[in-house]
Structure 1
């Protein structure tokens, strides 16, 4: 399959109004596939993570990574179509996993990769991807020119302290690397103040003090097992961080 996505729905009718309208939101050639999984033997379900090039020319800071699930009913020749935009690839992968995609299949990213700078970045990628319903996304933003960065503002249902968590990603295009860090805040207002101000370091989660060694050890094991690097890049247009998450049918970075 080429990197440009074909939904293969020519012989199917939409099962509902939402499914009828959703595919029309994606113009031919706008989507570049980053990872995909199709159930066997008949492709009754398709799970896709793609970069939507058209999003870069829309609302500044809006999500550009879209997670798509297509379910086909071969007996009725109908399909249902669901999609969600996210600010970072692992959040899009998480959405697909929560919608029935095997975690190991959607983690196999294709294309031109850049690499995590360290084991903590690799560990955080996996933590987000496999976190289930732990993180409620309440805001996001992205900048596709210097400094190249992405942030996702979440509420961590597992956090006993500082439950508002910011996942902050910086890309180094010249070195072809990216770094992810997690910040912890007592409330949303404090997190948004840090995102707007940036005059102090990103505050580490309280549990990092006790779990740093084990986290890094697990990340090193995961790396040695052959985990895929995460693809990044982006248009040259500048996008200031957005105050909230843009929703289409419900981003990350392009190849």
Structure 2
């Protein structure tokens, strides 16, 4: 991870009003997290805005930039989007053409498979999630959350994605909670009375896995055989770990 931050705009002028506004808002407090260049004409940039710490409490501090340069016209087009949770900042860049593998934040990795699968779902969610608000706390072990409305949810449509960054372990966790409305979700954020309430579809999947495991156990008992997991390693083909990378 490097702190060098340069969008490569020298000698170019803004192609439109939005580009002018974004360029004028650039400052020295941006710290580069990831940059992916496609030749000299386009760059996808993810940066940490340390100046956000001194602004409104909880201000979103991850800035995603999409830079398009037209050297022949000596112009640039610049777009920016602020986020609290990393996966949503990455999603914004992915949807604009950045390869997902170019956005990995070495050496940080998801702490568990649940975090990995959840961020993968966010990357490919399209317009499923309508972002309503976000909050970021910086410090030793930082926490951030993004609140969305899940357009595909049959119940409890307000979803809260909570990210905990563990700097010492160089890892992070990402979890999803489900709520009936935004006020209830905000109340949880304020009080944190317990674990995030799971999404109904996650409860159904967990129940299905439990039923399947019970069915396998019952069938094994009826046949007088041990469950597959109890068979000595020499009796089954070895399987390699799936593994993953960001």
**Same structural fold, with TM-score higher than 0.5 when normalized by the shorter chain:** yes
Residue of structure 2 equivalent to 1:35: 34
C-alpha contact (below 8 Å) 1:114/1:178 kept by paired residues: yes
Deviations 1:99-154 (A, max 9, x none): 2323333x3334xx333221101111222223222211111112224673111111
Deviation at 1:212, TM superposition (A): 4.7
Residues 104-183 of structure 1: matches in 2 within 5 Å?
104-105=101-102, 107-110=103-106, 113-145=107-139, 148-183=142-177
1:49 aligns with 2:46: yes
- Give, in whole Å, the separation in 2 of the partners of 1:174 and 1:108: 18
More helix by share: 2
Residue of structure 2 equivalent to 1:239: none
- Picking from 82, 85, 96, the partner of 1:85 is 82
Q: Return the index of the structure with the highest Cα Rg.
A: 2
Residue of structure 2 equivalent to 1:60: 57
* Gap runs ≥5 in structure 2: 210-240
Local SS of the residue matching 2:200: coil
Residue of structure 2 equivalent to 1:248: none
Residue of structure 2 equivalent to 1:227: 245
Residue of structure 2 equivalent to 1:12: 12
Greater Cα shift, 84-93 or 136-145: 136-145
RMSD: 2.5
Local SS of the residue matching 1:19: helix
- Give, in whole Å, the separation in 1 of the partners of 2:43 and 2:22: 15
TM-score with structure 2 length normalisation? 0.78
- Give, in whole Å, the separation in 2 of the partners of 1:214 and 1:91: 29
1:70 aligns with 2:67: yes
Deviation at 1:95, TM superposition (A): 0.9
C-alpha contact (below 8 Å) 1:36/1:46 kept by paired residues: yes
